Structure 1
Amino acid sequence: MSLPSNLNPDEASPPWLNKGDNSWQLTAATLVGLQSVPGLVILYGSIVKKKWAVNSAFMALYAFAAVLVCWVGWGYRMSFGDKFIHFLGVPNVSLDAQYLIEQAFLGYLPNATMIYFQFVFAAITLILVAGALLGRMNFLAWMLFVPLWLTFSYTITAYSIWCPEGWLSKKGIIDYSGGYVIHLSSGVAGFTAAYWVGPRTTKDRERFPPNNILLMLAGAAVLNTHVCTATSLLTWLMLDIIFFGKPSVIGATQGMITGLVCITPAAGVVQGWAAIFMGMMSGSIPWYTMMVLHKKIGLLKQVDDTMAVFHTHAVAGSLGGILTGLFAVPKLNRLFYMVDNWQHYIGFFYGLHTGHTTAGFKQLGIQLLGIVFVVLLNIFTTSVICLLIRLIIPLRLAEDELQTGDDAIHGEEAYALWGDGEKYESKLNSIYEEFPPPSKGGEVQMNQMA
């Protein structure tokens, strides 16, 4: 029986290529990319004080662009290429045309699709790290931090957990779409970097209102909701109403984020009822750590984590990893990981139910081992990177820049109108000034700066 002409293999469509899988992978990658740009760019630019809107949004946009260049230059092959050591691949470029059209290390896809798909995950991880540093980090230091952290931290985690040759991957860790690689990593790294960078000004720490809550909601909406996320949002909202008397929009956004983070390691391998339970946990446990424990634990009070990424990503990511170890369905795992034995990828409760108790305990232990590895790795690598950058350039902005914000750092402001309709004109950026006319003597008259 012959295939329809459009399904026959040819040079542009080799026999191993699944067009449906390839199309969906590209679509899914684009959806994740939209979470970063414009999603988190808008969210960061609107959830901060007005004077930090441009800087916060631009930190996210810069990270997205810088990660892409580093990713195709060396990052992808270090994360998913030929084995160098147990937790890292051999650095190499990913731009050769022949390499791009060859079959990827997993699935019926070309390398070009997989490179793009994995890039958007790497990019959003760095943008999430930025959330802990908004409102005071030297932008030039951030420009150095992004490629260094991608190279010496993200690649190690990605190879160890997601690459088939990685040591945690071989042990059977379950991280469906980044609870460890993205969220736990960014939460720990962001908190660690915030420790080294130092806090915002006292005035900003005491009062840091969003400059546009409606835009904040628009940016958050791009972060794609589902059952766990919706349940988490509702749980956080109810706790805010019960204990603070008001339904907080910012709180609901935080609850939405913790739900998304919690379900990430489990998204394709747990039942729908488990997702609802995970949403209840992710809307309550991070709420408790943020609203109660944060005020009682000295280290948490000391470190100025602007967007609370420790709670929303590190705590919620760890929670998701543990709950995945409890609720992972063996059949769904075998469909996703393509394994045929019970010793890998079986949730603890299913292990008890089916008589594979040892395998269930083992899976839970592997999930906990992954948490310990990611936490220790990111504390170490992030600290070393920050200390090295500090030898070259200050990590924190100067005091006058901290007082002024966007105009002092970029010579630009987010809003053109000030006060009663007065138009904003910067004296720190040449694009806002016309070139002054020459004087009668041929000399240029310089505007006096106030």
Structure 2
Amino acid sequence: MSLPALAVLYASIVQKKWAVNVLAMMFAGFSLVLIAWVLWSYKMGFGGTSLGGGVHNGLWTQQPASGVNHVGTLKHFFDNLVGKPGQITDALNEQSQAVSAANTAIPFHFPVVSLAFFQFVFAAITPLLFLGSVLGRIKFSAWCLLVPLWSTFVYAIDAFLLWGGGYFAQEGSLDFSGGFVIHMSAGVSGFVAAWVLGPRLLRDRQHALPNNLVMAAVGAGILWLGWN
């Protein structure tokens, strides 16, 4: 419910001339994350590292395959920063057991593909959250380029650090509802993006009126319902 809710909310609070563009950016961003997620990003966030840590063949290994203990060092951080890219379209991922690599160690009773789809929704909604920071000042083409890059080099790394058994998880950190992986990632990215792009044009700032407050309330209500 969060995707249509955000789409309605964002399209309603901007000027009328931007409404269709906002909707296109929302659904394009969601779709582009799906492509990246299936082909390489999921393994980066919830797979195994090139050194043998993380999830490999249904098993989670905290230390690198070499067995050398570098806990607490800079090397340990970079060795457990992100998983190795890879696709999840084969039959093995559809049928094999999903494994929790987060610090909670809660056993899963469903296949990898179910976990991949569940986590995809979080991966897709996160860049759409910070889209609100750049509405009216970014081109559609630039947004379509930014989303898969951001999903790869920001979200996948953050997800692996906490939910994929990476450095933060190994140090005892917990993130039950995405406070770091989703909300801090989106908040910091939105702030940086707005700062880099700068303010909207003067004529747009002088007439920055929402085009439909009723639909904005509807979108916010659906978002509230979906979030809970």
Shift of 1:52: 0.8
The separation in 2 between residues aligned to 1:94 and 1:221, in whole angstroms, is 35
The separation in 2 between residues aligned to 1:133 and 1:74, in whole angstroms, is 26
Q: Deviations along 1:137-158, whole A, 9 cap, x unmatched?
A: 0111111101111111111100
Partner of 2:204: 204
Residue 94 of structure 1 aligns to which amino acid in structure 2?
I
The separation in 1 between residues aligned to 2:210 and 2:218, in whole angstroms, is 13
Shift of 1:159: 0.3
Shift of 1:202: 1.1
Higher relative contact order (CA 8 A, sep 6+): 2
Partner of 1:255: none
The separation in 2 between residues aligned to 1:173 and 1:207, in whole angstroms, is 45
Partner of 1:128: 129
Residue 151 of structure 1 aligns to which amino acid in structure 2?
T
* Equivalences for residues 425-436 of structure 1 within 5 A: none
Q: Deviations along 1:68-126, whole A, 9 cap, x unmatched?
A: 01000101000000123311001000111222210012211101110100000000001
Shift of 1:172: 1.7
* Equivalences for residues 97-136 of structure 1 within 5 A: 97-106=91-100, 107-136=108-137
Partner of 1:184: 184
Residue 118 of structure 1 aligns to which amino acid in structure 2?
Q
Tell whether 2:15 aligns with 1:49: yes
* Equivalences for residues 346-357 of structure 1 within 5 A: none
- For 2:87, what is the secondary structure of its paired residue? coil
The separation in 1 between residues aligned to 2:99 and 2:137, in whole angstroms, is 41
Q: Which runs of 5+ in 1 are unaligned?
A: 1-33, 227-259, 261-266, 268-450
Partner of 1:71: 37
- For 1:98, what is the secondary structure of its paired residue? helix
Tell me how many residue pairs correspond in the alignment: 193
Contact 1:77 1:90 in 2 (8 A): yes
The alignment yields a C-alpha RMSD, in angstroms, of: 1.6
Shift of 1:208: 1.2
- Among 22, 25, 28, the alignment partner of 1:59 is 25
Shift of 1:225: 4.4
Q: Deviations along 1:344-384, whole A, 9 cap, x unmatched?
A: xxxxxxxxxxxxxxxxxxxxxxxxxxxxxxxxxxxxxxxxx
Shift of 1:206: 3.2
The separation in 2 between residues aligned to 1:91 and 1:133, in whole angstroms, is 29
Instruction: State TM-score, norm by structure 2.
Output: 0.80
Shift of 1:169: 0.8
Residue 35 of structure 1 aligns to which amino acid in structure 2?
S
- Among 49, 64, 75, the alignment partner of 1:83 is 49
Shift of 1:55: 1.1
The separation in 2 between residues aligned to 1:105 and 1:126, in whole angstroms, is 26
The separation in 2 between residues aligned to 1:117 and 1:224, in whole angstroms, is 19
Partner of 2:103: none
Partner of 1:413: none
Tell whether 2:226 aligns with 1:215: no
Contact 1:72 1:94 in 2 (8 A): yes
* Equivalences for residues 381-392 of structure 1 within 5 A: none
Structure 1 residue ranges, 4+ long, deviating more than 2 angstroms after superposition: none
- For 1:124, what is the secondary structure of its paired residue? helix
- For 2:85, what is the secondary structure of its paired residue? coil
Give percent identity, aligned residues only: 45
Contact 1:41 1:58 in 2 (8 A): no
The separation in 2 between residues aligned to 1:192 and 1:134, in whole angstroms, is 14
The separation in 2 between residues aligned to 1:144 and 1:225, in whole angstroms, is 31
- Among 89, 93, 102, the alignment partner of 1:95 is 89
